[in-house]
């Protein structure tokens, strides 16, 4: 047996395609939230580190039998890349994983872009004066974020550089971009972008901090979509890319500008995967898994329905009649959190989440408004 597939499992509940010799890696005490269409084995490690995983493989006599190391969770993208290199197997390299995970190095690779710009950015790891980058203490709002952050966790916005305070070594600063945002979600197979969709965010990704809902809908703006595609393809030209897997790209946009925010080598979160699956018939988690295993992926040829997703954060007063919602034929799925908290911890941490569909964008917009009104969102 020399074709073991090692799946580095994160927090997302997933059902994987049937795969011979599939081993799912989870740390001690973590919930087993991965299922498979076929047999699978669990590999429990003390910690999700390269040393712990490789030692466990050696103890089980599997270290020389691993053919693929698969990961679709941002938290473990770097660990998975290091495991590949330790075992000498194909897949996303550590250099590529770092470029798609580390927000500072990501932007360093993209400085020469022609089809988009970057916000001004700075990190303590640079040998550069922060004031030289941002132009002074009162030169507009500043965003502070963890270099390895995700989901808007621990992101803060200050009115000026002077108001920001001390910046830790694992953080960075960026100039605030006051523009709407789009996201591009897709799949790379054999080093080529084989599927992608451009969507527009509704409200701001950090809207949970202001107790506002966030969502997205497909972009029907042909010119914007073409500009987003140019920017997307240039990102992949400039970054040390990967051969197989999903991606989630975010850009700020206006009629004249495209400003890069960030990109990740994993599927988009919240309701993006489910909305795309309903619209196109492709589940990006399963497709990314198959692609990373070197197996064929059936790609969609057309959009079969219009979809949208939304999330209402914790701390918002709602009146949800779950029974009524279950009777709505256009509501693909919804989730109501059992625990009530004063506020959400990150952008995917919601009190209410939903995916809905319609025959047209206008119908989806109408139904989204109806849904929000029906749960008491004001």
Judge whether 189 and 300 are in contact, CB under 8 Å: no
Residue 206 pLDDT exceeds 70: yes
Residue 25 pLDDT exceeds 70: yes
pLDDT of the residue at 348: 86
pTM metric for this prediction: 0.95
Supply the CATH classification number for the domain 4-91: 3.40.50
| Cα distances (angstroms) measured from residue 283 to each of 125, 197, 279 | 38, 13, 10
pLDDT of the residue at 162: 84
Confidence tier at 326 by pLDDT (50, 70, 90): very high
Residue 347 pLDDT exceeds 90: no
pLDDT of the residue at 310: 97
CATH class of 181-374: alpha beta
Residue 126 pLDDT exceeds 90: no
Residue 137 pLDDT exceeds 60: no
pLDDT of the residue at 307: 98
Q: What is the mean pLDDT of residues 104-112?
A: 97
Burial of 38 (0-12, 13-18, 19+ CB in 10 A): exposed
Residue 136 pLDDT exceeds 70: no
pLDDT digits (tens, 9 = 90+) for 69-98: 999 999 999 999 999 999 999 999 999 999
H or E, element range at 34 = strand 34-36
Q: What is the mean pLDDT of residues 16-35?
A: 95
């Amino acid at each position: 047996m020399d074709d073991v597939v090692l799946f580095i499992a994160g927090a997302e509940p997933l059902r994987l395609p049937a795969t011979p010799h599939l081993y799912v890696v989870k740390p001690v005490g973590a919930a087993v939230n991965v299922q498979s269409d076929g047999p699978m084995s669990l590999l429990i490690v003390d910690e999700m580190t390269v040393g712990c995983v490789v030692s466990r493989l050696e103890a089980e006599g599997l270290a020389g039998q691993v053919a693929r190391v698969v990961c679709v969770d941002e938290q473990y993208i770097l660990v998975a890349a290091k495991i590949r290199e330790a075992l000498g197997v194909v897949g996303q390299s550590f250099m590529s994983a770092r470029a798609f995970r580390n927000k500072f190095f990501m932007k360093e690779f993209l400085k020469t872009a022609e089809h988009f710009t970057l916000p001004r950015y700075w990190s303590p790891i640079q040998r550069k004066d922060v004031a030289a980058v941002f132009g002074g203490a009162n030169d507009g709002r500043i965003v502070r974020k963890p270099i390895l952050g995700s989901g808007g966790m621990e992101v803060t916005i200050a009115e000026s550089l002077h108001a920001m305070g001390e910046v830790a070594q694992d953080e960075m600063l960026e100039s605030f971009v006051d523009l709407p945002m789009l996201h591009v979600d897709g799949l790379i197979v054999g080093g080529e972008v084989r599927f992608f969709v451009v969507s527009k965010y509704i409200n701001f990704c950090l809207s949970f901090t202001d107790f506002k809902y966030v969502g997205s809908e497909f972009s029907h703006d042909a010119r914007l979509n073409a500009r987003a595609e140019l920017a997307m393809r240039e990102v992949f030209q400039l970054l040390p890319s990967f051969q197989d897997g999903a991606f989630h790209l975010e850009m700020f946009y206006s009629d004249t500008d495209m400003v890069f925010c960030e990109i990740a080598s994993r599927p988009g979160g919240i309701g993006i995967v489910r909305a795309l699956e309903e619209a196109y018939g492709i589940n990006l988690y399963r497709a990314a898994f198959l692609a990373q295993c070197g197996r064929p992926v059936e790609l969609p040829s057309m959009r079969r329905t219009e979809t949208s997703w939304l999330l209402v954060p914790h701390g918002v007063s709602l009146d949800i009649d779950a029974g009524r919602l279950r009777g709505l034929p256009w509501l693909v799925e919804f989730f109501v959190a059992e625990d009530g908290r004063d506020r959400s911890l990150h952008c995917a941490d919601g009190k209410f989440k939903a995916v809905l569909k319609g025959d047209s964008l206008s119908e989806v917009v109408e139904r989204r408004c109806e849904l929000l009104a029906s749960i008491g969102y004001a």
